[in-house]
Chain A
Amino acid sequence: MTTETLFSIPASAGQKMVRIEFEGETFQVPEGISVAAALLSNGRGAFRTSIVGGAPRAPYCMMGICFECLVEIDGIPARQGCMTPVRNGMIIRRQPGAPSLKALASGGRNEH
């Protein structure tokens, strides 16, 4: 899978940055942007794999409609990356297929 960066955010003076972790890699990203915008600007194409066919998927609508940007955030699966602002220290993981019901109910880790 290519890691080509689809978007980039020009550096601006005085912009406060936060540190997030995605699949073990650390990124500095502007405070206040969404998780989806942060990941799309750091070259990580697929956010999840589809439930039926296991195909790679990434954000399509960026406004809470399509649910293609679902990721696991701080241990909670099926979070909408486009609706969640980045926070310092946030740990994000890809969501492979469907989240387990157990993890959803307990708000705990995705057990895939």
Chain B
Amino acid sequence: MNTETTDLIVIGSGPAGMAAAAEARALGMSVCVLDEQRVIGGQIYRRIEDTPEALRMILGKDYAAGSALADEFRRSGADYRPGATVWNLSGDGVVDYVADGGSRTISATNVLIATGAMERPFPIPGWTLPGVMGAGAAQIMLKGADARPSGPVVLAGCGPLLYLLAWQYLRAGVQLAGLVDTTPFSAYVAALGKIQGAVRGRKDLIKGLGLVSQVRLARVPVYSGAKSLEILGRDMAEGIRFQHKGKSREIAAGLVLLHQGVVPNTQLSWSLRARHGWDAGQLCWTPVTDEVGRLGQTAVYVAGDSRGIVGAIASGVQGRLAALAMHERSGGKVPPGRRAVLERQLARHVSLRPFLDRLYRPLDEHRIPADDVIVCRCEEVTAGDLRSYVDLGCLGPNQAKSFGRCGMGPCQGRLCGLTVTEVIAAARKAAPEEVGYYRIRPPIKPIHLGSFS
């Protein structure tokens, strides 16, 4: 059987993937874009080509700005394949994916992993109850289905996306029962140490502060410096309890939306056995790459949030820079000055990041929970279970699998991985690098055996 070939396979059609594809096409490369979703845009620009006008107004300018990139991508002539679930990737550029119920293979000189970010797990008591979701998940409901909370809703945690969703809900006329903000006062002080970057990125900073002050002005009860979050309820979420200014408080709500930042979706780069490092600023794993995102001497590059959280605009620029590097690696010529322009854009758009990372650093107690809190939701393994495995000699996430099936459910460790590393590292008093991560193997996503017949 002849395998289909192309110059570049892009995995993911969010900002990094769309920009890389468009840039590569402009350089004359043939490009195939695979995306598990059925529409382009990734999560940040989800449904960007088909957003009803009223919803576009609610979501705001930064969302609408995705249209220009989507148009450029469509005009580029890249071969876009929606509903394509990649389940295997090799370092020499062979990709296996399932689409329309059948598995196909395609190979390329270059592969770009542009799989974006996921919400950081928020393991607290009760977080597995129906009615508890990520704020990002609720935003996906808004973008994708125009769905809004119909009863009392609380937003809890920290980070830009949490405040953005609160602002979008206000514009949509949704009543918020409360915004429980876990950013401690000390974080504002610590973040001042990163103020240099914040001055360069002041436009973004001012925009962010504007969101927060509008939420306050709308008389939403805001509880700043909250801690010790726990969800109330037995079969469904009924509310949230937390510590605020030395007092225990409760807010009744059937829907609690949690968020404490986003982290790179590294499943594909891990599956290549690529080296990853622990980013102590963002408290997550990032693949070790060269300056343009290439993984060692492989055919595989990584751009955007799947390489380390940089945000939508910088993700697009990284995608373009990777495309330039791939073109040059094959002996192609890049227009003079193009790289310098992109590098300047990248520097500007990542300048605020260290300030944000410090300010919205999630609390230890919300990442490394108490014994009775479920860490692995699929197999219902608690933090206490993990600690008991460590007492028996368990050294890291891989061994936790054999001790108690931790990370062996259908999500394949995606949601619990970071928590498992951090819980074991804390219990062992070891560094996350020493503890490591799950060994991720293909199939990267569960697939039906029927796909191979």
Contacts and interface: CB of A to CB of B under 8 A. Distances in A.
Interface of A: 1-2, 4-10, 12, 30, 33-34, 37-38, 40-41, 45-47, 50-53, 55-68, 70, 76, 78, 82-83, 85, 104-105, 107
- Tell me the interface secondary structure of chain B in the complex: loop
A85 B38 contact: yes
B236 A45 contact: yes
Given A10-B146, A41-B147, A61 B134 contact: yes
Given A61-B415, A62-B134, A1 B147 contact: no
Nearest to B405: A52
A5 B150 CA distance: 7
B38 A4 contact: no
B398 to A, nearest CB: 20
Given A12-B52, A56-B129, 18 more contacts: A4-B254, A7-B150, A12-B146, A34-B144, A34-B145, A37-B145, A38-B145, A45-B131, A50-B377, A51-B380, A55-B380, A56-B236, A60-B133, A60-B134, A61-B415, A62-B141, A67-B378, A67-B411
B118 interface: yes
A85 B147 CA distance: 15
Contacts of A56: 129-130, 235-236
27 contacts: A1-B236, A4-B254, A5-B151, A6-B150, A6-B151, A6-B255, A7-B145, A7-B150, A8-B147, A10-B146, A40-B141, A40-B147, A56-B235, A57-B128, A58-B130, A59-B133, A59-B137, A60-B137, A61-B134, A62-B133, A62-B134, A65-B118, A65-B265, A70-B410, A104-B448, A104-B449, A105-B449
A86 B133 CA distance: 21
Q: By CB atoms of chain A within 10 A, which of B136, B148, B410, B414 has the most?
A: B410
B79 interface: no
Contacts of A65: 118, 265, 411, 414-415
Given A56-B130, A59-B133, A107-B448, A68 B377 contact: yes
Contacts of A12: 52, 54, 146
B137 A4 contact: no
A4 to B, nearest CB: 5
B78 interface: no
B145 A30 contact: yes
A61 B380 contact: no
B36 A6 contact: no
Nearest to A58: B130
A22 B448 CA distance: 23
B119 interface: yes
A6 B131 CA distance: 7
Contacts of A76: 448
